[in-house]
Amino acid sequence: MRPDPDLDLVERVEGRTRLLVPAASLGGGPPPKSPAFFNPLAAVTRDFAVLFYGARYRGSRARLLDALCGVGARGIRVANESGADILVHLNDANPTAAGIARRNCDLNGLGDRCTVSSEDANALMYGSPRSGPRFDAIDVDPFGSPVPFVDAAVSTVRPGGIVALTATDLSALTGRSRTSGRRKYFLSLHPTDFSREVAARALAAYGVIRAAAAERGARPVFAHVDSQYLRVYLEIRGHARAADESLDRLGHLGYCPRCLYRGVMDPGRGHRCPVCGGELLELGPLWLGDLFDGQQLRGMLAMSDGMGWAARSKLLGRALADAGLPPYYYALDRIADSLGTCVPRLDRLLESLASKGYRAVRSWAHELGVKTDAPHQLFMEEVRRLSSCRGAASPAPPRRARCSGACSPSASPRGPPRTISSPSPGSRPARRPGTP
Q: Give the span between the Cα atoms of 319 and 343, in whole angstroms.
A: 23
Give 275-315 as a DSSP string: TT--BPEEEEEEE-S-SS-HHHHHHHHHHHHHHT-HHHHHH
Q: Give the span between the Cα atoms of 345 and 385, in whole angstroms.
A: 11
- Side-chain-side CA neighbours of residue 288 (13 Å): 17
Phi-psi region of 16 (alpha: psi -120 to 50; beta: other; left: phi over 0): alpha
Per-residue buried b or exposed e for 221-244, using 16+ beta carbons within 10 Å of the residue's own CB: bbbbbbeebbbbbbbbbbeeebbe
For the chain, domains (ranges, CATH) are 3-287 (3.40.50.150), 329-436 (3.30.56.70)
What ranges in 160-239 are assigned the alpha helix state H? Answer: 170-174, 178-185, 195-213
At 268 the pLDDT is 66
Positive/negative CA dihedral, 132, 134, 138, 143: positive
At 357 the pLDDT is 98
Distances (CA, A) of 237 to 84, 133, 218, 244: 22, 17, 6, 11
Q: Give the span between the Cα atoms of 332 and 309, in whole angstroms.
A: 27
CA angle 292, 298, 300 (to 5 degrees): 85
Positive/negative CA dihedral, 331, 335, 340, 342: negative
Q: Give the span between the Cα atoms of 22 and 32, in whole angstroms.
A: 9
pLDDT in tens, 332-343: 999 999 999 999
Give 3-60 as a DSSP string: EETTTTEEEEEETTEEEEEEGGGGSSSSPP-SS----GGGHHHHHHHHHHHHHHSTTS
pLDDT in tens, 20-64: 999 999 988 888 888 999 999 999 999 999 999 999 999 999 999
Q: What is the largest CA-CA distance in the chain?
A: 70
CA angle 303, 309, 311 (to 5 degrees): 120
Per-residue buried b or exposed e for 156-188, using 16+ beta carbons within 10 Å of the residue's own CB: bbbeebbbbbbbbbbbbbbbbbbebbeebbebb
Q: Which helix (H) or strand (E) holds 175?
A: none
For the chain, which residues score pLDDT lower than 70? Answer: 1-6, 132, 268, 390-436
Per-residue buried b or exposed e for 372-402, using 16+ beta carbons within 10 Å of the residue's own CB: bebebeebbebbbebbebbbeeeeeebebbe
